[in-house]
């Protein structure tokens, strides 16, 4: 006998069991379906009847799932349980985790919601077949309403958990995090402080030396030559051009004596 695996169990509870409940409700009005489900003890269940009942239950389960999508899904969406935005570019690399979430959350949601719809259909078919809602039907109706409320709460909880976990698995923010997942590069700081770093990073500051004071006792022309030698060839040339001219230096005093 083939082993009942996780995926097969999920399909069994999501479609076959709710479909069999709806098929039981249809047996109140369809004689052929009643023959499939109830046989004489001497005859025993036949292979044909079992096969027909299984196929009919599966077909009814799919129809019930469509009704569930049209009613329960929209009702829960209005209650705040909405499908998140998924990024299917991450689907291939996270397929195993997604299948696990479907098997452990969404299949149970399908069972709760589909069974809710199937029980409602079966109970309405039973009431239509009985035709009389008496005192004996009161406890049955109360039990039916209680089971319906429990199934609705279970469906809401299973769908909410499924959406929350798939949001964490396939949300678009995970794609941005994956692209920008590299650690930011932090600039290395020096212990000398920002001012020292700016001073060493400027090449003009590294090459420029502090001027030295000329020795005392020299004339103005010698002081100018000394400053030109420290400032570079351009400054020296400008100071040599100013020596024979008139100015505030020694050249001015020489012209005054002539």
pLDDT of residue 209: 46
Place of tokens 């399909």: 11
Could you give the 3-state DSSP secondary structure of residue 236?
A: helix
Predicted TM-score (pTM) of the model is: 0.63
pLDDT of residue 226: 56
Which residue stretches of the chain are H helix?
A: 6-11, 17-26, 31-37, 47-78, 95-101, 107-130, 137-170, 172-179, 194-201, 203-207, 220-231, 233-242, 250-257
Report pLDDT digits (tens) over 51-75. 888 999 999 999 999 999 999 999 9
pLDDT of residue 184: 42
d(CA 175, CA 206): 47
Give the lowest-confidence range in 124-133, 157-166, 191-200.
191-200
d(CA 157, CA 108): 10
pLDDT of residue 251: 45
Q: Is 100 within 8 Å of 175 (Cβ atoms)?
A: no
Residue 103 has pLDDT above 60, yes or no: yes
Mean of the per-residue pLDDT values for the chain?
75
């Amino acid at each position: 006998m083939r082993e009942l695996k996780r995926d097969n169990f999920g399909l069994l509870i999501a479609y076959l069991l709710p479909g069999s409940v709806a098929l039981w409700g249809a047996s109140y009005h369809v004689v052929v379906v009643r023959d499939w489900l109830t046989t004489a003890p001497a005859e025993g269940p036949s292979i044909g009847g079992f096969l027909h009942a299984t196929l009919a239950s599966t077909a009814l389960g799919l129809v019930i799932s469509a009704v569930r999508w049209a009613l329960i899904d929209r009702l829960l969406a209005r209650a705040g349980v909405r499908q998140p935005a998924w990024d299917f570019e991450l689907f291939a690399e996270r397929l195993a985790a997604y299948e696990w979430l479907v098997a452990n959350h969404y299949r149970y949601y399908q069972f709760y919601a589909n069974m809710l719809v199937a029980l409602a259909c079966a109970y309405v078919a039973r009431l239509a077949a009985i035709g009389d809602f008496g005192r004996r039907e009161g406890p049955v109706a109360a039990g039916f309403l209680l089971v319906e409320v429990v199934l609705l709460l279970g469906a809401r909880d299973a769908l909410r958990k499924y959406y929350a976990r798939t949001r964490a698995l396939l949300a678009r923010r995970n794609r941005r995090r994956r692209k920008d997942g590299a650690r930011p590069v932090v600039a290395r700081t020096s212990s000398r402080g920002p001012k020292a770093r700016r001073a060493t990073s400027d090449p003009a500051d590294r090459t420029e030396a502090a001027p030295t004071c000329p020795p005392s006792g020299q004339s103005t022309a010698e002081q100018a030559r000394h400053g030109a030698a420290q400032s570079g060839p351009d400054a020296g040339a400008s100071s040599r051009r100013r020596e024979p001219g008139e100015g505030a230096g020694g050249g001015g005093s020489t012209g005054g004596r002539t």
